[in-house]
Chains A and B, each alone.
Chain A
C-alpha cells in the first residue's frame, strides 16, 4: 500500500506537473499561427481525397499510418504468443441470436460504406476496421468460438495483409522512380482506396482476434478447450 508520505507527495508533484503542462498549452494555444494546418489544408485537393484527415493519414503522413498498422500487428502477435484463449461464451439465447443475425450483416455493410465515405466525409480505414472488428466481437458474444474468423492460415494472411499491401505499394512506387509512398498524380485516389481496403480487412481481423485472445486454432481442433 502507499505510505503516508507518498499520499501527500504524489498530488503535490502532479499539481506541479499540471502547472507546467498548462503553461506549455497556453504557449501553444496563444501562439496563434496556423503552423501545419494551412499547408495541409492548402494541399488537400492534390492528395486525391477531399477529407483532410484521410489525406494527412494516407498521403502526407502515410509513413505514420504504415507503422501504426505494424504496431497493431505486433500487438496481435504478442497476444497470440501468450497461450490459448479463454473458453467461449455460452451460446446465445434465441432473442440475442436473432438480433446478432441482423446486426452482423448491417455492421459489415456499414464497414464498406465507412471505407468509401472516408475519401470525402468523416470515416476511413480505421473506423471501418473498427466496425468490422465489432462484427466479430458481436459474433463472439453470441457464443461463436472463432468470432466468424477464418481458419488459421487465412487468418494469419489477413492479419498481415494491411502491412503487406502498404509496404508493397511503397516499394513498387520506389522502383518506378517515385519516393516511398509518394503517389503519382492521378493515381493517388485509387492507390489510397486500395491501401485502405487492405488495411480495413487487417484492422478488423486484428481487433476481432485480439478480443478472442489466444493463439489461432485450426478449425478442426477448435472448441476442444471447452
Chain B
C-alpha cells in the first residue's frame, strides 16, 4: 500500500517538475501560458493529495484559472502586436 502511494507521489512530482520546465522553456507565449495552466491544475491535484482541499480549490480557481485567463489575454495581445509590428513597423495598435 505505502509503496503504491510512494509510486503515485513520485509520478505526481515528476509530472509537476516536467510541466513547470516545459512552461518555463517554451518560447511561444501562448504555449507557455497553457502549459502553466496545466501545471497549476496538477499542483491543485497534488495539494488535494497533501490534505489541503481548501488550497486545491483556491489554486484551481485563482492560481490556474484566473491567472491563466489573465496571462492568455496578455499572450494574445503580445502575439498580435508582434505580428502587426512585423508587417507594418511603426504602428501601435490593438487588434481583437
Asked if A and B touch directly (CB within 8 angstroms), the answer is yes
Are the C-beta atoms of B96 and A126 separated by less than 8 Å?
Answer: no
Are the C-beta atoms of B58 and A130 separated by less than 8 Å?
Answer: yes
Which residues on B sit within 8 Å (CB–CB) of A88?
Answer: 96
A172 to chain B: closest CB distance in Å? 28
> Contacts A86-B94, A210-B70 known; A122 to B53 CB distance under 8 Å?
yes
Tally of B interface residues using CB under 8 Å: 15
B-contacting residues of A (Cβ < 8 Å)?
A: 51, 53, 86-90, 114, 122-124, 126-127, 130-131, 133-134, 137, 141, 207, 210-211, 226
Q: How far is the CA of A226 from the CA of B21 in the complex (A)?
A: 39
State the majority secondary structure of interface residues on A: helix
Are the C-beta atoms of B96 and A51 separated by less than 8 Å?
Answer: no
B65 to chain A: closest CB distance in Å? 6
From A51, A124, A130, B66 is in contact (CB under 8 Å) with A130
State the majority secondary structure of interface residues on B: helix
Q: How far is the CA of A226 from the CA of B96 in the complex (A)?
A: 10
Which residues on A sit within 8 Å (CB–CB) of B62?
Answer: 126-127, 130, 207
Q: How far is the CA of A201 from the CA of B30 in the complex (A)?
A: 31
Residues 55-69 (chain B) with a chain A CB within 8 angstroms:
56-58, 61-62, 65-66, 69
Which residues on B sit within 8 Å (CB–CB) of A211?
Answer: 66, 69-70, 73
From B54, B73, B77, A53 is in contact (CB under 8 Å) with B54
Are the C-beta atoms of A134 and B53 separated by less than 8 Å?
Answer: no
Are the C-beta atoms of B54 and A87 separated by less than 8 Å?
Answer: no
> Contacts A126-B62, A137-B66 known; A89 to B96 CB distance under 8 Å?
yes
